[in-house]
Amino acid sequence: MNVELTLPTRKDEDFRYADIEALGTVWPVLREEIVIAAGREESSQVIELGEGAVVRHLDIRLEKGAKFDLRVLTAGPGYGRIAVDVTLAEGADFTLGAAQLATGKEMLELVTKVRHAGENATSSQIVRTVLAGYSTGTYLGCIAVDRGADGTDAEQSVRAMLLDRTATANARPELEIYADDVKAAHGCAVGELDDEGLFYLMSRGLPPAQAKKLMLQAFIAEAFAGAPEEEALDTAALERLAKLVEAGL
Amino acid sequence: MTLLKIDNLQASVGEKPILKGLSLTINPGEIHAIMGPNGAGKSTTGYVLGGRPGYTVTGGSVEFMGQDLMELEPHERAALGLFLGFQYPVEIPGVSFVQFLREAANAQRKGRGEEPYSGGEFLKLAKEKAGLLKMDMDMLKRPVNVGFSGGEKKRAEMVQMGILDPKLAILDETDSGLDIDALRICGEGINSIMRAPDKAVLLITHYQRLLDYVKPDFVHVLAGGRIVKSGGPELALELEEQGYEAVA
C-alpha cells in the first residue's frame, strides 16, 4: 500500500476543487492497488451511498491484453472523492462508467488518470453527473499516451446535468499525447433538462417529479449500460435521483 | 354536459398577445376543426389548452369537464381526459415508449383512483392500439420518437392517444408531414379511437385533406387570435377553394 502523508492543498491541480477540510478528516488515504494479470478479464464497482466524507484512490495496472470494467456510483456523501489511476500495457482494455449524484451542499469529484503505456490499448470513460441544490460535481480526467503507444484508442464522454441554477459543475478533460498513431475522442457538456421534453412527458400524464426522474434515468443510463451489476447500480441510482428531484422542486 | 367551454380567451407568448378573445364550445360526440392562416394562433391554442410553460393566459376562461382548466398542471389536465397531439413530437433519447407510456397511463389512472395496469395488461393494450395505426410493436420499444420519420412520429402520437383514451383530443397539425397512406391510417385511427358519444376532437389544421377522413361537425376559421367565422363541413371546402382572405 502506498500512502501520501502530507495533506494536499488547492494549489495542487488535482485538488483544485477539493474540500480540503473534509479531506483532512480522512487523510491519509490508502491507495487500493489492483493488478489485472495478462490476458485476464475482470470487473469491479465502487458504490458510495453513505454520508460524511468518503475518499478513495484506486491504483490499477492492466498487464498485456488484460481487460477491466469499473463502475462508480457516488450518491450520498457530503464530500466524495474517487481517484482512479490506470496504466494500460499493450492491448489492454479499460472501461469506466461513473455516475455522481449530489444535492444540498454536497461536493463530489472523480479524478482519473488513464495512461496508455503500450501499443493498441483501448480505454473508454463515461461520466454522468446530476447536481441539485447547491451541490458541486467535478470531473478531472487526464489521458496520457506514452511515446510509442501507437494504436491507442481512448475515449472520454463527460456530461453534467444541473437541476438548479445554484449547482456547479466542473469538468476538465486533458490529453497528453506523445505517440503518433492515436485516436482520442473527448466530449464534455454541461446542461439542463430539456423543457420541451418535460412538457411532452407531463402532457401525457406524468407528474413533474416523475417526468424529471425518467429523463435523468435515461441521462445516466449509459454509465451503467452493460455492467455485470447493471440492475443493482440502476436501482441505487434511481433511489437517489428521486431524492434529488424532490429536493429541487 | 359541455366538454370544453372556452370563453373570450386571451393569451400571450412572452410579451406578445396571440389569442385575443377566443370563444369555442365543444360538446361530447362532436368533432371540430380550427383552420386558419399561419400566425393566426392555432398552435398557441393547443399549447395554452395543454398548459405549456411560457404561454400566459391574460384573460377569459376555459372550463373542461366542469373544472377550471387553467388552474391545473399539464399532468392533471391529462388525467382529466385531455390529450394534446403535438405538431412536432419531441424526441427523448434513452426513454423507451413502452416504459414512458405505461408510467403515464398508470399515473393518470392513479389520479382517477383506478388500479394500475399490470405489465401484461399494458402490453396487450399497446399492441392493440399500435395495430390500429399499423405500427410495429418493436418501434414502441425504442426511445421516444428518436429516429422516427415525420409520419412515424404522428402515428406514434395516435397510438399514445389510443392507449391513454382521452375524452378530448386536441390534434395540432396531425396531417403535416404525412404521405397519402399515412394520412389515411391516421384519419382512420382518429375515427376508431375518438368517434364516440362521450368523446370529442379538436383538429387544428391548414388543409382540407385530413377532413376528408375525419369529417368535422363544425369548422371554425381562426384569424388574428379570434374565431372569425364558424360553419359546417362545407366551410372547409370553401376555404380550400377560395383561400382564407376571401372567406374570413
In this prediction, the answer to ipTM > 0.85 reads yes
User: A197 to chain B: which residues are within 8 Å by CB?
Assistant: 90-92
What is the residue range of B90's domain?
4-247
- From the number of C-beta atoms within 10 Å of its C-beta (0-12, 13-18, 19+), residue B246 rates as exposed
* Phi, psi (deg, nearest 5) at residue B19: -95, 130
Peptide bond into A28 cis (omega under 30): yes
CA distance B245 to chain A (A): 33
Nearest to A64 by CA among A40, A89, A43: A89
Mean pLDDT across chain A, nearest whole number? 95
CA distance A195 to A204: 14
Read off the pLDDT of residues B112-158 as tens digits, 9 standing for 90 and up.
Answer: 899 999 999 999 999 999 999 999 999 999 999 999 999 999 999 99
Cβ contact A159:A127 at 8 Å: yes
In chain B, the number of structural domains is 1
> Which pLDDT does position B56 carry in this prediction?
94
pLDDT surpassing 60 at residue A185:
yes
Low-confidence ranges of chain B (pLDDT < 70): 248
- Taking an 8 Å cut-off on Cβ atoms, the answer to whether A206 and B107 are in contact is yes
Query: HSE on the CB side for B69, CA within 13 Å?
Result: 28
Residue A249 has pLDDT above 60, yes or no: no
Across the A:B interface, residue pairs with CB atoms under 8 Å apart total: 80
Query: What was the pLDDT predicted at A248?
Result: 63
pLDDT (0 to 100) of residue B241: 87
Nearest to A204 among B53, B111, B160 (CB): B160
Going across the sheet that includes A67-74, the strands are A41-48, A67-74, A93-102, A122-131, A152-162, A182-191
Mutating which of A157, A202, A213, A217 best tests the B interface, going by the most B Cβ atoms within 10 A?
A202
How far does chain B reach from its first CA to its final CA, in angstroms? 30
Q: Across the interface, do B75 and A221 touch by the CB < 8 Å criterion?
A: no
Please determine, for residue A1, whether its predicted confidence score (pLDDT) is greater than 60.
no
- Position B69 scores a pLDDT of 97
pLDDT at A5: 82
What is the pLDDT averaged over residues A55-77? 97
A43 residue type, one letter = S
The domain locations on chain A are 13-193
Query: Cell triple for residue B3?
Result: 366538454
For the stretch A111-122, pLDDT in tens is 999 999 999 999
Q: How far is the CA of B155 from the CAs of B151, B160, B174, in angstroms?
A: 6, 9, 9
Q: Kindly report the CATH number assigned to the domain that includes residue B222.
A: 3.40.50.300
Residue type for B58, please? T
If you write DSSP's letter for every residue of B153-182 in order, what string do you get? HHHHHHHHHHHH--SEEEEESTTTT--HHH
How much of chain A, in percent, has pLDDT values that exceed 70?
98
Show the cell assigned to B189: 385511427
